[in-house]
């Protein structure tokens, strides 16, 4: 361990609030945008801004953190800037105003996660098996937010969403001041150059898999809630479906040490990609069969839970010492940034031209491409 005492609850509390925001924003913000009479393409553009920012912001701030040798002060500044940027939603509802507000918010917000991941892994030291036990509190925060807001929107109205998100962002900023940098030198490991790491076959395979997985999720994060509402699902039912997926994700985080020891990270990543193919195909063609939609949501345990845990662990394996923040930033940029942007924007075109079922089918095929590439390029462990 890098410290005698692991700041378990401080890290867990930050994850809880951070992903509480995600649980409030991701499932329901599209419904807010639809309530403003935006088109599917406009909604896709606005939602893709978070992915666009993730294409460059995490890498930029990761580079700054590795150069300065401290991550927590940057996390605190980013959290405060995110809170200030979000205040803009209370002063306008036009497309171009919300475009500017969401772009600014996403620039600051998207850089926090890879930095807190690097801080957490630094505190854990050689106890990486405990990562899932800390990260699961983020999933719990997501569940609490998504279920609570599902009922609030059903019975109170859409304005509840704006104020709950504000409160969660304020919580993230307040909790960031409880964090501390791990007592390790960022220069103590990792003699390889940045370019030497990037050219490794394993790193190429990993980043390609992360890109395709996030691209496959583009339509899910952009249109899933709208899709369910259009097929007669209530907002509280939608909240429970999102919560079910994250509850299954929590179980994976709890059991990740056992799964890794038994199957290895390569097989876990392959299984995650294949199950993403199955999940999105089912969502596309069986939306009116409620029990199949419930079953598809349980697969979130694989398409995010095991996938994310494996991706973070592999990134930490390949990017050592002074490259840790840049490595986690690159993972976020390539996957949720470039991949997520492509998936969201393409889904905006396809949703109205091809229809929802074929759009989800395209996302399923994207995950299958990632599965095939990773299987042949990533060497067995």
What rounded mean pLDDT belongs to the chain? 90
Q: Please tell me the total count of domains within the chain.
A: 1
Q: What's the pLDDT score for residue 184?
A: 56
Average pLDDT over residues 146-154: 87
Residue 68 near residue 80, CB atoms below 8 Å:
no
pTM: 0.78
Assess if residue 3 is contained within a domain. no
- Going 271 to 273 to 275 to 278, the CA torsion angle's sign is negative
Q: What's the pLDDT score for residue 40?
A: 86
Q: Place 189 in a pLDDT band, splitting at 50, 70 and 90.
A: low
pLDDT tens, residue by residue, 66-93: 778 788 999 999 999 999 999 999 999 9
Q: What's the pLDDT score for residue 1?
A: 40
The structure tokens listed for 108 are: 């600051």
DSSP 362-373: HHHHHHHHHHHH
Residue 367 near residue 273, CB atoms below 8 Å:
yes
Query: Residue 368 pLDDT > 60, yes or no?
Result: yes
CATH number for position 360: 1.20.1250.20
Q: What's the pLDDT score for residue 2?
A: 41
Residue 44 near residue 348, CB atoms below 8 Å:
yes
Assess if residue 305 is contained within a domain. yes
Assess if residue 1 is contained within a domain. no
Burial 256-283 (b: 16+ CB within 10 A, else e): bbebbeebebbbbbbbbbbbbbbbbbbb
Q: What's the pLDDT score for residue 175?
A: 96
What percent of the chain is predicted at pLDDT more than 70? 96
Assess if residue 2 is contained within a domain. no
The structure tokens listed for 297 are: 């949501």
Q: Place 111 in a pLDDT band, splitting at 50, 70 and 90.
A: confident
Assess if residue 246 is contained within a domain. yes
- Which tops the pLDDT comparison, 372 or 63? 372
Query: Residue 282 pLDDT > 80, yes or no?
Result: yes
Q: What's the pLDDT score for residue 16?
A: 96
Q: Place 191 in a pLDDT band, splitting at 50, 70 and 90.
A: low
Structural domain harbouring 192: 8-377
Residue 117 near residue 312, CB atoms below 8 Å:
yes
pLDDT tens, residue by residue, 320-344: 777 777 888 889 889 988 898 899 8
Three-class secondary structure assignment of 39-82:
CHHHHHHHHHHHHHHHCCHHHHHHHHHHHHCCCHHHHHHHHHHH
Query: Residue 62 pLDDT > 90, yes or no?
Result: no
Query: Residue 187 pLDDT > 70, yes or no?
Result: no
Assess if residue 239 is contained within a domain. yes
Residue 377 near residue 204, CB atoms below 8 Å:
yes
pLDDT tens, residue by residue, 255-268: 988 999 899 999 99
The structure tokens listed for 259 are: 């799964």
Query: Residue 128 pLDDT > 90, yes or no?
Result: no
């Amino acid at each position: 361990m890098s410290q005698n005492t692991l700041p378990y609850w401080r890290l867990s509390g930050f994850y809880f609030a951070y992903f509480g925001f995600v649980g409030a924003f991701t499932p329901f913000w599209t419904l807010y945008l639809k309530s403003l009479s935006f088109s599917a393409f406009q909604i896709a553009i606005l939602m893709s801004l978070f992915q666009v920012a993730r294409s460059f912001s995490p890498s930029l701030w990761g580079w700054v953190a590795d150069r300065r040798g401290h991550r927590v002060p940057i996390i605190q500044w980013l959290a405060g800037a995110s809170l200030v940027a979000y205040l803009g939603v209370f002063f306008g509802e036009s497309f171009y105003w919300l475009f500017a507000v969401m772009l600014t918010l996403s620039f600051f917000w998207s850089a926090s996660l890879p930095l807190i991941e690097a801080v957490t892994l630094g505190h854990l030291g050689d106890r990486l098996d405990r990562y899932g036990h800390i990260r699961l509190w983020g999933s719990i925060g997501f569940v609490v937010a998504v279920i609570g807001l599902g009922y609030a929107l059903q019975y109170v109205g859409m304005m509840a969403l704006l104020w709950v998100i504000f409160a969660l962002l304020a919580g993230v900023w307040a909790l960031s001041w409880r964090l501390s940098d791990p007592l390790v030198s960022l220069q103590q490991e990792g003699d390889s150059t940045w370019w030497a790491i990037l050219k490794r076959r394993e790193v190429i395979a990993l980043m390609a898999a992360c890109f395709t997985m996030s691209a496959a999720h583009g339509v899910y994060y952009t249109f899933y809630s709208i899709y369910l509402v259009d097929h007669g699902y209530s907002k509280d039912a939608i909240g429970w479906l999102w919560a079910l997926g994250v509850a299954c994700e929590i179980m994976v985080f709890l059991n990740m040490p056992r799964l890794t020891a038994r199957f290895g990270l390569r097989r876990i990543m392959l299984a995650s990609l294949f199950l993403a193919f199955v999940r999105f195909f089912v969502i596309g063609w069986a939306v009116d069969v409620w029990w199949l939609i419930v079953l598809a949501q349980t697969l979130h345990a694989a398409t995010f839970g095991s996938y994310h845990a494996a991706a973070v662990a592999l990134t930490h394996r390949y990017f050592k010492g002074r490259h840790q923040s840049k490595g986690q930033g690159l993972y976020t940029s390539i996957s949720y940034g470039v991949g997520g942007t492509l998936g969201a924007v393409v889904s905006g075109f396809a949703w109205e031209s091809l229809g929802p079922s074929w759009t989800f089918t395209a996302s399923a095929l994207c995950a299958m491409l990632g599965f095939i590439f990773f299987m042949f390029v990533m060497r067995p462990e």
